[in-house]
Structure 1
Amino acid sequence: MRRRVLLAALSASLSLSGCIDDSSGEDPPTEQQPVDGTDTGTAERTADEPATGSTPEITVRDVTLQYGLVGLSDDAIYVDQHETAFVVADVAVEGDVLRDAFELRVDDAAVTASDPDARYRHRSDEDDWYDGDGRGALLISPSQSGLEGEPPELRLSWPGGEHALDDGLAERLVRGPPTFDATVDAPAEVPADEADGEHEVTVEATNRGDGSARFLAGVNRTGPQIAYTTVERLTALVDPGETVTVSLSDDWMGPPPAERVGDGESDVTYELAWNGGFDSTEIRVV
């Protein structure tokens, strides 16, 4: 088994999202790499019209494939629809192009970008869903029917232009939902005089499948002074058989009430919900 350590949580700039996350150098090459014609010299994918001030310019900056979406309720992050595939594309548009003008071409079939539910955005996300101009995330769910066999050709298209997606995304789409084992861990006990401030939580996720897959999760906390709160959304592309370790820093903002210190009962619980399972760990303040 190989192990990869990530020094900080990989927060999505989306889904995460279920959301957008950039394809860093730590990710395997099966993840779609950013495409920016201005920075890389690759021609921007724009409408095939004369260059005028009103002609939209469209840049596909990043594309990911994931199973499930990270949702946000009033006080918890969770993963929904973990057996459903979602393509998330980060696009920048100079001009006006309606969201439903974008389509994911799956061979000869076409799936229109959907109008996503706002609950799939974390309140700390800097970027939002694409809503007709500027920069944002497109959410598209390709059908799983008829995808057995050879990986399909995947293209993000719009009137007058398109962008071919990496073959690795198509291969992951055909393989179906991923299989992960995951755990959340923290010290079993914390001295009361050290309760105020930052505390480290560790999440480990192992890809048990036979191909690269995206791990998607949310971490929540109960205690020591709050009934329930969100901590972090996590996402990482993991090779088969590989384990990734994510270290989180979480501020408790003080110990529990004095009468609860050292009573033998749990004072803090961390919960991990991922695309396929759930785990938790308890901490006593002594």
Structure 2
Amino acid sequence: MTHEHPQHGHAHQHQHGNRPAHSHRPGEDDAGQAEILDLDAEVLAEHTAAITAWLPLAAAPQQIVDLGSGTGAGTFALLDRFPEASVLAVDASPGHLLRLREKACALGVDNRVRTVQADLDADGWPDLGAPDLVWASASVHHLADPDRALRQVRELLAPGGLFALVELSGFPRFLPDDAPADRPGLEARCHAATDRLHAEHVPHRGADWGPVLTAAGFALAGARTVTVDLDGAGRETVGRYALATLGRLRGAVAETLDAADLAALDRLLDADGPDSIARRGDLVVRTERQVWAARRA
């Protein structure tokens, strides 16, 4: 599920332009989203691993469902964390699921991964078994009716099973607040523009999911915020991540920026130019992930 992004897929705009990183609806620029999802997984791998290590599980899960799996950031982190488990990856994008299967084969874990193409906004879900752990990262806020989906997750879980809901704070930030020198605050203005779009088209983005989970019949087992603050200077992967993510951001805000801001953004996005964001010595990755863990009440 895009996964924004740039979270995000989903009938919404999220981390990556007019839709979030994890796309859960077919036919939406799969290749571009898949690239950002893969870069996101690589750049933030340590933080994802920290979340899987934190999960308040009574026992190691054997059957895991990854709802809105995208290209598999959560799937592979969970396989690493729980070497005896298998994962059922669910997404609406056949392209993302194909990429996930190819990665599983390359990593030699294809015998532990199954994929199911499904729209989580549909009235009925396919048979997803009775998992010990359901993981949903950057996907629930994109659903048309997240309350209904959460009730379905509750019924899906095996007795004593855990639901882990992970959400992003929005597009990552890559620049200091006073950058670039000719248009200080450019990134903040771009984020403000996407926030206005999201408020209209993605009303559940940024929600406090604790009360929503309780209303859906869950008992909270824990919550935490994971802060990301990475030095990206000289890191080629981070440079590509910044270029891809800001490129998506430009697609969402181009019509709302003034000419000077748009020109400055284009200079940052010129990968071969002297002002490329990938060449900056102050390149960082700053964002937050919120995590809620819950069991059936």
Q: Give TM-score, length-normalised by structure 1.
A: 0.29
- Name the structure where strand makes up a greater proportion of residues: 1
TM-score where L is the length of structure 2:
0.28
More helix by percentage: 2
